[in-house]
């Protein structure tokens, strides 16, 4: 049987996401008075007022909250009421960058890279040309609790986890992109980039975009929306509908505005919050924003299964897999407290198919083979998949530095936010692995009780009695 279980959470660690600001827990005690705000935030708010983006009557304004900065209601805000609207000229996206001073050297770059270069340049430049965006740049954090900003010592706390593998892969990706853009764009254009730009600068910009940019917007790949990106996340909000959208500025206007609504009723003085993404796992939340939730179904583990190219039936198995919506390398996300993904067992049985069971790969069965694999096919086949999956789970569990019990004891102590994330991630993964192992342990115990293909076939032909005995006829 040709399978392997990867520590990689997805086939592409940079798959399209809904990027939103990095903040997390709900905080009732909020402050939005001008006197309590840092000078940089007061300057930012004044800039928005001067540019007519906001006014004293705006429903919400920046405020100091548990997470740092957030949006605090200045009055009661109704459910689905507009909280703020930001005109397109204040958006930072690849189109805006193309129209800037560095536009000609950014043409053809990936959208996130062009925006990253713009952010870095605006942050490092000291000439008057950078004054316009200075008020916004100055409120951006130097780092978040995203794992891309963790030290080696902090990363050692997630040793053995899929999150560590993904984090290192993402950092390597960013490094490679930086080296390429440094050679092709930054170094040849010293007039535009007269200051030293380091890998740390590039990781900073990547982290800002990963945590603060919006991407699930009509016609937009990725866009930063000043002020809107202060909106924080609440686990208690379970709807993503209508939180934000792009719409026309007016009946006779071609301009666009970004509109943010509150999904729930908010009292004056409370923080305005939204749901970032109901489908993200804790590993994704930790990588993107630097927080996790205690909700069990945020804990996932990704099993990577593969049809080996050395399998003598590779072509037949690949054809069957692709016909049924899977691939030669298939990723299955297992979630704590939920059943196995529907296609996982048929895929496992297909990969393990061989020996006397290989007749099922004949073309005559091509239209029905997946249906047959929905149920246990043969004892040998079922036993193999149980052994391989359980062995992989036990191997993965042995790679962690701590046990679940040790993790649970640490949770109650006075620990840093990053250690809290690490403990939650590794404990969550281990719980999912134990769940998977238990599922296949039960399947092992049922091996002698299952009805397999041959028995089902005989029953369909009327050759099996009510007690499961095979019916024979005496020759006349």
Mean pLDDT of 51-75: 94
Mean pLDDT across 169-184: 98
Burial of 461 (0-12, 13-18, 19+ CB in 10 A): exposed
Q: What percent of the chain has pLDDT over 70?
A: 86
Distance CA 32, CA 60 (A): 9
- What is the per-residue pLDDT across 372-422, written as a single tens digit (0 to 9) for each? 999 999 999 999 999 999 999 999 999 999 999 999 999 878 899 999 999
Binned at pLDDT 50, 70 and 90, residue 36 comes out as confident
CATH 3.90.1420.10 describes domain 295-460: yes
Two tokens at 127? 């000439």
- What residues contact 223, with CB distance under 8 A and at least 6 apart? 91, 92, 93, 213, 214, 215, 217, 258
pTM: 0.88
- Choosing from 276, 301, 347, 400, which is the catalytic residue? 276
Residue 276 is among the residues annotated as catalytic for this protein: yes
Separation between Cα atoms, residue 291 and residue 424, nearest integer Å: 10
Residues annotated within a binding site: 67-69, 212, 216, 229, 232-233, 244, 276, 289
DSSP code for 298? G
pLDDT digits (tens, 9 = 90+) for 235-266: 999 987 768 888 876 655 668 899 999 999 99
Average pLDDT, the chain: 89
Q: Which residues pair with 84 in a beta bridge?
A: 260
CATH 3.40.50.1980 for domain 103-211: no
Provide φ and ψ at 55, rounded to 5°. -150, 180
User: Do 227 and 244 touch, CB atoms closer than 8 A?
Assistant: no
Q: Is the CB of residue 71 less than 8 Å from the CB of residue 232? A: yes
- What radius of gyration do the chain's Cα atoms show? 28
In the chain, where are the structural domains located?
34-91+225-274, 103-211, 295-460
Domains 34-91+225-274 and 103-211 share a fold: yes
Known binding residues for S-adenosyl-L-methionine: 67-69, 212, 232-233
**Coil, strand or helix at 60:** strand
> Which fold is adopted by the domain 34-91+225-274?
set domain protein methyltransferase, domain 1 (3.90.1410)
What is the spatial distance between Cα 239 and Cα 274, in angstroms, rounded to a whole number? 8
pLDDT in tens, 6-25: 333 333 444 434 444 444 43
Whole-number Å distance between alpha carbons of 435 and 336: 7
């Amino acid at each position: 049987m040709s399978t392997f279980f990867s520590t990689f959470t997805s086939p592409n660690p940079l798959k399209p996401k809904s990027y939103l600001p990095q903040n997390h827990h709900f905080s009732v005690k909020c402050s939005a008075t001008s006197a309590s705000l840092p000078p940089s935030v007061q300057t930012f708010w004044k800039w928005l007022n001067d540019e007519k983006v906001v006014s004293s009557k705006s429903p919400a304004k920046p405020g100091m909250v548990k997470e740092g900065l957030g949006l605090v209601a200045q009055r009661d805000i109704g459910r689905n009421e507009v909280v703020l609207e930001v005109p397109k000229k204040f958006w930072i996206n690849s189109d805006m960058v193309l129209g800037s001073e560095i536009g000609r050297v950014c043409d053809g770059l990936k959208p996130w890279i062009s925006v990253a270069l713009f952010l870095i340049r605006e942050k490092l430049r000291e000439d008057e040309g950078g004054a316009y965006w200075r008020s916004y740049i100055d409120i951006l954090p130097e780092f978040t609790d995203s794992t891309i900003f963790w030290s080696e010592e902090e990363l050692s706390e997630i040793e053995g986890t899929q999150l560590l593998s993904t984090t290192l892969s993402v950092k390597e990706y960013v490094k490679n992109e930086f080296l390429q853009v440094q050679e092709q764009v930054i170094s040849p254009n010293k007039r535009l980039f007269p200051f030293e730009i380091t890998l740390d600068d590039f990781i900073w910009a990547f982290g800002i975009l990963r945590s603060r940019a919006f991407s699930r917007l009509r016609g937009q790949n990725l866009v930063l929306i000043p002020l809107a990106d202060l909106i924080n996340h609440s686990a208690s909000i379970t709807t993503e509908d209508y939180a934000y959208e792009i719409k026309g500025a007016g009946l006779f206007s071609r301009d666009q505005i970004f509109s943010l609504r509150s999904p729930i009723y908010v009292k004056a003085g409370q923080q305005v919050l939204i749901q970032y993404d109901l489908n993200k796992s804790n590993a994704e939340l930790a990588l993107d924003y630097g927080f996790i939730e205690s909700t069990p179904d945020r804990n996932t583990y990704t099993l990577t299964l593969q049809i080996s190219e050395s399998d003598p039936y590779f072509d037949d198995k690949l054809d069957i897999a692709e016909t049924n919506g899977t691939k030669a390398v298939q990723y299955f996300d297992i979630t704590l407290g939920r059943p196995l993904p529907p296609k996982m067992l048929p895929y496992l049985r297909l990969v393990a198919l061989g020996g006397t069971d290989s007749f099922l790969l004949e073309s005559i069965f091509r239209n029905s083979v997946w249906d047959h694999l929905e149920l246990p096919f043969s004892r040998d086949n079922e036993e193999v998949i149980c052994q391989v999956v359980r062995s992989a789970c036990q191997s993965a569990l042995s790679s962690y530095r701590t046990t679940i019990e040790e993790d649970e004891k640490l949770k109650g102590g006075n620990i840093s936010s990053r250690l809290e994330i690490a403990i939650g991630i590794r404990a969550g993964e281990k719980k999912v692995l134990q769940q998977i192992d238990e599922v296949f342990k039960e399947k092992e115990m049922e091996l002698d009780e299952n009805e397999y293909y041959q028995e089902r076939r005989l029953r369909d032909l009327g050759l099996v009695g009510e007690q499961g005995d095979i019916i024979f006829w005496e020759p006349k």
